[in-house]
Chain A
Amino acid sequence: SQTIHQWPATLVQPVGSPLSLECTVEGTSNPNLYWYRQAAGRGLQLLFYSVGIGQISSEVPQNLSASRPQDRQFILSSKKLLLSDSGFYLCAWSVAGVVYNEQFFGPGTRLTVL
Chain B
Amino acid sequence: SQQGEEDPQALSIQEGENATMNCSYKTSINNLQWYRQNSGRGLVHLILIRSNEREKHSGRLRVTLDTSKKSSSLLITASRAADTASYFCAPLRAGFQKLVFGTGTRLLVSP
Contact = CB atoms under 8 A, between A and B. Distances in A.
Interface string B88-102: 101010000111111
B102 A105 contact: no
B45 A100 contact: no
A46 B98 contact: yes
Contacts, number: 59
A46 B100 contact: yes
Given A32-B97, A106-B42, A110-B40, A43 B103 contact: yes
Chain B, interface size: which category?
Answer: 20 to 34
Contact of A100 (B31, B35, B100): B31
Interface of B: 30-31, 33, 35, 40-45, 48, 50, 88, 90, 92, 97-104
Given A34-B98, A100-B50, 18 more contacts: A43-B88, A43-B104, A44-B88, A49-B97, A88-B40, A92-B42, A100-B48, A101-B98, A101-B99, A102-B33, A102-B45, A103-B90, A103-B99, A104-B45, A105-B43, A106-B42, A108-B42, A110-B40
